[in-house]
Amino acid sequence: MPGATSMVVIGITALIVFGPSKLPDIGRAFGHSLREFKNAAEGIIQDDDKQTPENTAKDKEEKS
């Protein structure tokens, strides 16, 4: 995990490369992407919780 000094260097480098006008847009896009990823991961976890071995066995018995 990067330390505080590394984060400052990354921030200054991003400011120089992208400029102050583009930096908020890039941060916003990153936030939206992170939120979508988190929601998708939660959906996968919820689907896995619904299909526990007991539920899967019951489903197989009901189908036969």
Contact 2, 10 (CB under 8 A): yes
> Which residues does 23 contact at the CB level (< 8 Å), separation at least 6?
14, 15
Q: State the pLDDT at residue 39.
A: 92
- Give me 45's structure tokens: 């976890």
pLDDT in tens, 17-43: 999 899 899 989 999 999 999 999 888
Pick the residue with more confidence: 62 or 42? 42
Q: What are phi and psi of 51, to 5 degrees?
A: -105, 65
Confidence class for position 53, pLDDT limits 50, 70, 90: low
Give the number of residues written for the chain. Answer: 64
Pick the residue with more confidence: 54 or 7? 7
Q: State the pLDDT at residue 38.
A: 93
pLDDT beyond 60 at 55: no
